[in-house]
Chains A and B, each alone.
Chain A
Amino acid sequence: MARSEVNIGRLRLKNPVMVASGTFGYAKEFEGLVDLKRLGAIVVKTITIKARPGNPMPRVCETASGMLNAIGLQNEGVENFIEEKLPYLSSLGVPIIVSISGDSIKEFCNLTKRLDKEKGVDGIELNISCPNVRTGLKAQELIAQDKDATYDVVKNVRRLTDKTLITKLSPNVTDIVEIARSACKGGTDAVSLVNTFLGMAIDIESGRPKLGNITGGLSGPCIKPIALRMVWEVARNIRRPVIGMGGIVSIEDAVEFLLAGAKAVQIGTANFIDPGICEKIIKGVERWTKTGSS
Chain B
Amino acid sequence: MQDIRAKILSNEKIRPGYFKMALDAPGIKRGARPGQFVQVRCSDCLDPFLRRPFSVHRLGPLEILYEVAGRGTEILSGKKKGEWIDLLGPLGTGFSLPMKNTGSRAILIAGGIGVAPLVFLAEVLAERKIDTIVLIGVKTKNLILCEKDFKATGAEFHIATDDGSRGSKGLVSKLFEEIIDTPKKRPADSTCSRQDIKVYACGPNPMLRSIASICEQEGLGCEVSVEERMACGFGVCLGCAVKLKGKGGYKLACKDGPVFSASEIAWQVI
Contact = CB atoms under 8 A, between A and B. Distances in A.
Interface stretch (A51-59, A238-246, A286-294): A51-59
Contacts of B69: none
A272 B53 CA distance: 13
A23 B237 contact: yes
A58 B229 contact: yes
Interface string B214-238: 0000000000000011111111111
B46 A249 contact: yes
A126 B222 CA distance: 44
B41 A273 contact: yes
B224 to A, nearest CB: 16
B88 interface: yes
A60 B237 contact: yes
B2 to A, nearest CB: 8
A221 interface: yes
B3 interface: yes
A221 to B, nearest CB: 5
A69 B269 CA distance: 19
B238 A24 contact: no
A33 interface: yes
Contacts of A57: 228-229, 241, 243, 269
A272 B241 contact: no
Nearest to B236: A25
Contacts of A62: 48-50, 231
Contacts of B46: 65, 220-221, 249
A207 interface: no
A196 B49 CA distance: 16
Interface string A52-79: 0110111111111111010100100000
A284 interface: no
Interface string B32-53: 0000000001000011111100
A9 interface: no
A67 B234 contact: no
B234 A60 contact: no
A74 B236 CA distance: 11
Contact of B236 (A32, A61, A249, A271): A271
Contacts of A199: none
A71 B231 CA distance: 11
A74 B231 CA distance: 15
B239 interface: yes
Nearest to B237: A272
Nearest to A276: B3
A82 B236 CA distance: 18
A62 B52 CA distance: 11
A65 B49 contact: yes
Interface string A148-159: 000000000000
A74 B255 CA distance: 15
A29 interface: yes
Interface string B238-270: 111101000001100000000000000000010
A33 B235 CA distance: 13
Nearest to A62: B50
Contacts of A60: 229-231, 237, 239-240
Contacts of A45: 238
Interface core residue of B228, B235, B238, B269 (most chain A CB under 10 Å): B238
Contact of B239 (A33, A69, A273): A69
A272 B229 contact: no
B97 interface: no
Contact of B49 (A33, A58, A66, A275): A66
B250 A67 contact: no
B75 interface: no
Interface string B1-41: 11100000000000000000000000000000000000001
Contact of A54 (B49, B50, B233, B241): B241
Contacts of B249: 51, 53
A32 B49 contact: no
Interface core residue of A22, A45, A59, A276 (most chain B CB under 10 Å): A59
A53 B250 contact: yes
B231 A272 contact: yes
Contacts of A59: 229, 238-241
Contacts of A58: 228-229, 239
B242 to A, nearest CB: 8
Interface string A1-36: 000000000000000000000111100011011000
Given A54-B241, A74-B241, A273-B51, A61 B88 contact: no
Nearest to B252: A74
Nearest to A72: B238
B231 A275 contact: no
A273 B49 contact: yes
13 contacts: A25-B236, A29-B236, A53-B249, A57-B243, A57-B269, A59-B241, A60-B237, A62-B48, A62-B50, A74-B238, A272-B231, A272-B236, A273-B41
The 8 closest A-B pairs by CB, nearest first: A60-B239, A272-B232, A25-B236, A60-B231, A65-B47, A59-B239, A58-B229, A53-B249
